[in-house]
Chains A and B, each alone.
Chain A
Amino acid sequence: MGKFTKKRGKSTPAISTASLPDIIFMLLFFFMVVTVLRDSELKVNNNVPQATELTKLEKKSLVNYLYIGRPLKQYQATYGTKPRLQLGDKFSDVTEIPLFLEKHRSSVPENQRPGINSSLRVDGKVTMGIVTDVKTELRKAGQLKVNYSAKPRAK
């Protein structure tokens, strides 16, 4: 006992910073877990409308994203200003939807496949024409669970 008290008395009272990295690492891991790296670069204007009856999409791996909107300024020369569909990170035609869905489906374990959701991220200013075409194509492909992405609005 005497030994310990003697030692403490001698050393200069400095706060140990050894646990600081651990704290920072904890923060780091927290951010790594909660954040998602955006896998695709948006090429269309995508400002989703507001709604109140929202459901949260739980498992990110079970969701595929379909973006619909007018092409951004720098792409308008090549793709025009009509609303377009974007799958992954390129402009696509509605006929490419089945293949896109199939690609995503194959990356999901078989027992989780019934839980696959399609998130439609549609710009608010787009007209329903293209949205209807996409919906029809989704129905034909058997992807019936659809989520119209929206921002929360105060009730």
Chain B
Amino acid sequence: MAKKSARDRMSNEVNAGSMADIAFLLLIFFLVTTTIDVDKGVLVKLPPWSEEPPEVEKMKTRNVYSVLVNAQNQLLVRGEPASVNNLRDNAKEFIMNPRKREDMAEKPTKAIISIKNDRGTSYETYLEVYNELKAAYNELRNEEAQRKYGKEFEYLTREQQREIRSRIPLVISEAEPTNFGEEN
């Protein structure tokens, strides 16, 4: 009789103790089966495809910063062998041309960076070069933003960002790659 009365008292409450175990099981299942995928990368915008051969536009050589990467992953910057390590600084100097040199860009809006690689160039090298050139532009924009507004580029308003972007436009042109060292 004592037992029965105890059960009566319990019956109006569902035992929630095992809920935690069930939830734990689910939690562990999700922990094991899922991977937190950090998805980051270098964002690029490809030029639209057109069947006609592109118009040959004559550029002043002083405005073009040509970067060639061969199948041995060696760099040729403006006709001279170079290394990736000082590519960023050299590109920055070329774009801004602080000392108004005759052989560098007239002004940032006219500067064009041209990359040409080989089909045998390793992707790692290619991305490193691309990254350095993009970094050069990002740093320049940051410096400009600091000077004008006293803030980092990413913290500016859209209007201000657009203004700086038009002042220092990112122009990285990629030529059709050569084919000397394609692996088989």
Show the binding face of A for B, using Cβ within 8 Å: 17-18, 20-21, 24-25, 27-28, 31-32, 34-38, 48-49, 51-57, 60, 63, 82, 117, 119-120, 122-129, 131-132, 135-136, 138-140, 142-152
Contacts and interface: CB of A to CB of B under 8 A. Distances in A.
**Size category, B interface:** 35 or more
Nearest to B47: A139
B123 A125 contact: yes
Contact of A55 (B22, B41, B127): B41
11 contacts: A24-B23, A28-B27, A31-B31, A51-B128, A55-B40, A56-B40, A57-B40, A128-B118, A128-B123, A150-B42, A152-B40
B24 interface: yes
Nearest to B16: A18
B182 A21 contact: no
9 nearest A-B pairs in the assembled complex, by CB-CB distance: A35-B34, A21-B19, A124-B124, A129-B119, A24-B23, A139-B49, A149-B41, A147-B41, A54-B40
Given A25-B23, A139-B47, A148-B127, A53 B40 contact: no
Of A27, A57, A127, A131, most B-chain CB atoms within 10 Å: A127
A144 to B, nearest CB: 4
Nearest to A132: B177
A135 B107 CA distance: 31
Given A25-B23, A57-B40, A135-B46, 15 more contacts: A24-B23, A31-B30, A35-B37, A48-B41, A52-B131, A53-B131, A55-B41, A57-B39, A128-B117, A128-B126, A139-B46, A142-B48, A143-B46, A147-B42, A150-B42
B23 A127 contact: no
B26 interface: yes
A42 B44 CA distance: 24
Given A128-B118, A139-B48, A144-B45, A37 B40 contact: no
B124 A49 contact: yes
Nearest to A36: B37
Given A49-B124, A56-B39, A149-B40, A144 B47 contact: yes
B30 A144 contact: no
A78 B30 CA distance: 34
Interface string B69-87: 0010000000000000000
Given A52-B131, A119-B41, A132-B119, A24 B27 contact: yes
Nearest to A145: B45
A148 B42 contact: yes
B40 A31 contact: no
A128 to B, nearest CB: 5
